[in-house]
Amino acid sequence: MELKITKTVKGEKVDFKRPSIEFFEAIGGTKGMRDFMYSFYDIIYESDIHNFFPQDREEFDKVKEKNTKFFIQVCGGPKVYEDESGGMDLDEYMIHVHDDFTINEKARVEWLGCMRSALEKVDIDDELKMDFWDYVEKFSKLTVNDFKDLQAFNPYH
């Protein structure tokens, strides 16, 4: 199975589909999703983008927890993230959260690399992994807000 990364093109419309409920069920519902997201953040912590995230342990734990809740909801599980977005559309709110950070294509590819490693450790069908990957690979394009290095940079692997 190959979890590919395609290039972000500035201004291009991104058509993404939220992961199916089958992914959420296969991963083990709320508890499984929490384990998966904590494993993802352990990898983030060791990555080139760890500086984007709080260095304070308690603050970092809060990010992990919010992230877990978001992914539970976006994968069709209980609506446990709803209160965070203050009535804003969930997808729009998630793009907005990232506006506070300077995210370029290199950071996106690093983030996706961490997600790929976490996903590879999970014992579920490849088809369901692909479904989840398709969502993060595409949606992550919408979190990129710094395009300065886009032409010169070719990190796709």
Summarize as ranges the residues that interact with ligand HEM (CB under 6 A).
49, 52-54, 63, 66-67, 70, 84, 94, 97-98, 101, 103, 107-108, 111, 136, 139-140, 143
Closest separation in Å from C-beta 96 to ligand HEM: 10
Q: Which is nearer to ligand HEM, 23 or 111 (CB)?
A: 111
Tell me, rounded to whole angstroms, the distance of Cα 30 from its chain centroid.
17
From the CB of 151, what's the least distance to ligand HEM, in Å? 19
When the beta carbons of 26 and 44 are compared against ligand HEM, the nearer one is: 44
Question: How far apart are the C-alpha atoms of 7 and 81, rounded to whole Å?
Answer: 29
Neighbours of 151 (CB within 10 A): 8
- Work out how close the CB of 144 gets to ligand HEM at its nearest, in angstroms, rounded to a whole number: 7
d(CA 19, CA 35): 18
Question: Shortest distance, CB of residue 147 to ligand HEM, whole angstroms?
Answer: 14
Rama region for 60: left / alpha / beta (φ>0; ψ in -120 to 50; rest) = alpha
